[in-house]
Structure 1
Amino acid sequence: MAKAKTAFVCDDCGADFTKWQGQCSECGAWNSLKEVRLSSSTRSSGEGVLKGYAGATEAKIQTLQDVSLTEVPRFTSTMGEFDRVLGGGFVPGSVVLVGGHPGAGKSTLLLQSLCKLSQSHRALYVTGEESLQQVAMRAKRLGLPMDRLQVLAETNVESIVNLAQQVAPGIMVVDSIQVVHLADISSAPGSVSQVRECAALLTRFAKQTGTVLILVGHVTKDGTLAGPKVLEHIIDCSIMLEGGHDSRFRTLRGHKNRFGAVNELGVFAMTEQGMKEVPNPSAIFLQRAEEIAPGSVVMATWEATRPLLVEIQALVDSSHGNPRRVAVGMEQNRLAMLLAVLHRHGGLMLGDQDVFVNAVGGVKIMEPSADLALLFALVSSFRDITLPRDLVVFGEVGLSGEIRPVPSGQERLREAAKHGFRRAIVPAANTTKEKIAGLEVIPVKKIDEALSYI
């Protein structure tokens, strides 16, 4: 028996080390090194499964000019919101990682897509967490076509690849990467070594055969994808399905995409018939109360390739101890910075107040265009002033109190006008000569000028 080789891999950055140490010298993370045991036969057996396969080609050196620029044809996932996040559809030979919390709807979404795709493409659904009866019951409950989709219940990766070679699917789902294993690796399924080597073998199969491979991944307690960081470098596209158990809406967000835009957003609604697309998500996030309370304002954010209208809420209340700063759906550090700017350039002292801010609908706003809207919500709550229902606000706030422009300002204004907004307070640099019918655009350059409209 070959002697097992031992290595240590960092979960955060994927760096390899010959011995364990408390801190990764590459990324500085503490206690992130995990032991990996690989026998000498692991890589040879994994490669042997695909040895000599017809899809493999001999490598050769050529100039960049000689490379063919023929675009690889995509095919649709049968869902427009899914295609949007993918960048236009599935690319043959690509590897897509879909992650999310338990119960988010990962298996439901992929089963819906594959059952419909199986009518025009050869599709294979590999399940390691559920039985075939459970998969069939779900498909029947959702009213999906079941006559063409091929299914397999298996956790051994070598068996999965060998059986997949026989049917030659155009698209294959492995649910999930944390439960499959290689027989040559002694560690348990879900460990760093198993996830790393299983993903590498499945990816090699997808690249050599031109199969679209979709891997389902678990998430950790903090909401990040479980497994070694090197897994995110192997794949072509990383997608997260987000949404709480108390909400019927799910957001599909792209975190990495070699074939499309990053941070693209797709919205679905979980119903009794499965995942339904929401082509106009702004209408969902704008379901406001009949009587608008102080501290509420609508902003226009930009999600990859489309604008999105979101309601921002703020609550400023007297503190009875150490003042709290809580931000849900927004950056905590940015809130603290805006409070300091508001004090210095706006003349409002909130140091003795509890401040709570929230992006309604579970949306996570990462871009700085929410700065001005957040300041409006804070002042509105602190002064107990209700802002007009037909007002939309966006703009970045600088440390010196200036209002900076944001990208795609004209598209944001058109989206606001389409949903019935009549007034918009925006950075002066985002105003254009082309007027939008029914929308009054108010340009501002400094914080004091903007707050004078409240």
Structure 2
Amino acid sequence: EKIEFKRETPIEIADRKSNFADFIIENKILLELKTKNFIDKKDYYQTQRYLENANLQLGIIINFQQEHLKPKRVVNPKFINATRKMQMHTNDTKKEINDSHRDSHSSDFEAFECNSGHSHRDVIYNSGEESAQQIKLRFDRLGIKTENIKYLGETDTDMVCATIKKNRPALAIIDSIQTATSQDVDSSFGGVGQIKAATAKLMEVAKKDNIPIIIVGHITKGGDIAGPKLLEHMVDTVLYFEGEKMSHYRMLRAVKNRFGNTNEVGIFEMTGDGLKEVANPSAAFLENKSDVSGSVLTCTLGGNRPFLVEVQALTNPTQFGNPMRKSSGFDLNRLNIIATIINQRTDIKCASHDIILNIAGGIKIQDPAADLAVALAIISSMKNKVLPKNLVALGELGLGGELRKISQIEKRLNEAKRLGLTNILSPENSKTLSEAIKNLIF
């Protein structure tokens, strides 16, 4: 016998629980009548949407202003004021992965982002690793205003997504994706399946509800994102926040950006008050330049932003059968190639010497324009001759010993001239490495 609902609305039908069997919340709600009779198709889908919105469990939002979260000691750090930072495009729908070393102070970067342009708008900070008290202590140390920052300590992705959709914040931060779990996957958190499922659900919320979401992820020992490579393809932007463990400088660089180019690099300094943007990287990296042999300046590009760095080399006749090669901040394979070029294409023989190379400031460079500076630093150390203070070396080395042209040389030259460095060695005045050495009169 067919049940007549008279003129009840879909909501009234849903509230009359005796007419409905148990429902399951997965991707969609499955709805059945106990009598195996179905209501009108239009009412069915309206009722389905009502149940979907009414029965999803929400996470517990904690306000950082609550009394029990106040720290026992008073911290009065200076307010963080960064005049320049990478454009995050938070007015558009987007999802980001910020992969970082835990010793790179990624938590300070997340706090920095909470305070950058969102202090008057709601931000949800979901952490599966730290408690609200721990995060509150960090925010107080950094001087972050927490009136509009809400804490959510859930690992269930369904609950996190439902809470984000309900509160509709201006920004949501997920720390970290390795602690997120999904009921759709039968495995422990941190697995490949869990990471893929959790990211897919967060991506759906970001697109449908137009809410920017930043996902924090761990990296492997090799420097790659921990988890499936598919994760990079799912998100809109991939940012790496990195730096040497003992250095107080950190670099934020983009390897993928659907909202712009990837030629932008942000340089920050770690201080007692948190991250501070380095407005003049060249002056910062050259502040303590050494006046000894084996030291050469070069101009590299951080995206479209030129800045000067010091290349340091130290050589010594080897005491073993095979010479030692060590490099910090520069590719070791490239260093071996440059050492071979010096040995074969010039009169200077370095095959029997240990070579140690360092990029001052604890930063990493991958710019081929630094090849000439590396070669001159090695030769300067072997000859024990100090190079001119105002010398800047620019050029890529070919296997034949020739100097090749480099990109955006005008920007590099202008940056060098801005700091009063007028002695420039480049492919424009030296065609080969041997010619560059003669110009310096080693």
For the 8 Å contact 1:92–1:170, the answer to whether it is kept is no
Name the structure 2 match of 1:330: 330
Shift of 1:79: 4.6
Counterparts of 1:150 and 1:181, CA distance in 2: 21
Instruction: Label 1:118 to 1:259 Cα distance change in 2 as closer, same or farther (>3 A).
Output: closer
- The one-letter amino acid of 2:252's match is L
Instruction: Label 1:48 to 1:165 Cα distance change in 2 as closer, same or farther (>3 A).
Output: farther
Give secondary structure in 2 for the equivalent of 1:330.
coil
Name the structure 2 match of 1:410: 410
Instruction: Label 1:79 to 1:204 Cα distance change in 2 as closer, same or farther (>3 A).
Output: farther
For the 8 Å contact 1:78–1:113, the answer to whether it is kept is no
Shift of 1:115: 3.7
Counterparts of 2:259 and 2:81, CA distance in 1: 18
- The one-letter amino acid of 2:388's match is P
Name the structure 1 match of 2:314: 315
Shift of 1:203: 0.9
Give secondary structure in 2 for the equivalent of 1:293.
coil
Counterparts of 1:152 and 1:319, CA distance in 2: 57
Shift of 1:224: 2.1
Structure exhibiting the larger radius of gyration computed from Cα positions: 2
1:69-121 per-position Cα deviation (integer Å, ceiling 9, x unaligned): xxxxxxxx98555325x4xx435211110111113222222223224533343
Tell me whether 1:83 sits opposite 2:86 in the alignment. Answer: yes
For the 8 Å contact 2:249–2:269, the answer to whether it is kept is yes
Shift of 1:404: 1.1
Instruction: Label 1:48 to 1:157 Cα distance change in 2 as closer, same or farther (>3 A).
Output: farther
Counterparts of 1:248 and 1:335, CA distance in 2: 25
Shift of 1:222: 2.4
Instruction: Label 1:116 to 1:402 Cα distance change in 2 as closer, same or farther (>3 A).
Output: closer
Shift of 1:178: 0.6
1:370-417 per-position Cα deviation (integer Å, ceiling 9, x unaligned): 111111111101111100111111111112222111111111011111
1:227-259 per-position Cα deviation (integer Å, ceiling 9, x unaligned): 111111111111111123422221112121122
Counterparts of 1:327 and 1:48, CA distance in 2: 58
Instruction: Label 1:256 to 1:136 Cα distance change in 2 as closer, same or farther (>3 A).
Output: same
Shift of 1:52: 6.7
1:197-231 per-position Cα deviation (integer Å, ceiling 9, x unaligned): 10111011101111111001112222322111111
- Spell out the pairing of 1:164-203 with structure 2 (5 A cutoff): 164-203=164-203
Counterparts of 2:366 and 2:227, CA distance in 1: 25
Name the structure 2 match of 1:301: 300
For the 8 Å contact 1:116–1:145, the answer to whether it is kept is no
For the 8 Å contact 1:299–1:394, the answer to whether it is kept is yes
Name the structure 1 match of 2:94: 94
Q: Which stretch has the larger CA shift, 256-265 or 145-154?
A: 256-265
Counterparts of 1:173 and 1:138, CA distance in 2: 16
Give secondary structure in 2 for the equivalent of 1:182.
coil
Counterparts of 1:128 and 1:412, CA distance in 2: 44
Give secondary structure in 2 for the equivalent of 1:354.
strand
Name the structure 2 match of 1:275: 275
Name the structure 1 match of 2:63: none
Number of residue pairs aligned between Structure 1 and Structure 2 = 370
Name the structure 1 match of 2:377: 377
Counterparts of 1:149 and 1:314, CA distance in 2: 47
Any gaps of 5 or more consecutive residues in structure 2? 1-24, 31-47, 51-79
Counterparts of 2:383 and 2:28, CA distance in 1: 68
What is the TM-score normalised by the length of structure 1? 0.77
Counterparts of 2:145 and 2:120, CA distance in 1: 12
For the 8 Å contact 1:83–1:90, the answer to whether it is kept is no
Any gaps of 5 or more consecutive residues in structure 1? 1-43, 54-76, 429-442
For the 8 Å contact 1:127–1:176, the answer to whether it is kept is yes
1:296-341 per-position Cα deviation (integer Å, ceiling 9, x unaligned): 0000111211111010011121001111122221122222222222
- Spell out the pairing of 1:94-113 with structure 2 (5 A cutoff): 94-113=94-113
Shift of 1:48: 6.4
Query: Identity percentage over the alignment?
Result: 34
For the 8 Å contact 2:243–2:363, the answer to whether it is kept is no
Q: Which stretch has the larger CA shift, 337-346 or 404-413?
A: 337-346
Give secondary structure in 1 for the equivalent of 2:300.
strand
- The one-letter amino acid of 2:250's match is R
- Spell out the pairing of 1:44-59 with structure 2 (5 A cutoff): 45-46=26-27
For the 8 Å contact 2:316–2:355, the answer to whether it is kept is yes
Counterparts of 1:47 and 1:382, CA distance in 2: 71
Instruction: Label 1:169 to 1:452 Cα distance change in 2 as closer, same or farther (>3 A).
Output: same
Instruction: Label 1:242 to 1:414 Cα distance change in 2 as closer, same or farther (>3 A).
Output: same
- The one-letter amino acid of 1:178's match is Q
Counterparts of 1:209 and 1:366, CA distance in 2: 39
Shift of 1:131: 1.0
- Spell out the pairing of 1:40-439 with structure 2 (5 A cutoff): 45-46=26-27, 79-84=82-87, 86=88, 89-289=89-289, 292-321=291-320, 322-428=322-428
Shift of 1:124: 1.4
1:127-175 per-position Cα deviation (integer Å, ceiling 9, x unaligned): 1111112222221222221111222111111011111111112211011
Counterparts of 2:348 and 2:282, CA distance in 1: 32
For the 8 Å contact 1:124–1:171, the answer to whether it is kept is yes
Give secondary structure in 1 for the equivalent of 2:166.
helix
What is the TM-score normalised by the length of structure 2? 0.79
Counterparts of 1:376 and 1:424, CA distance in 2: 13
Counterparts of 2:308 and 2:273, CA distance in 1: 27
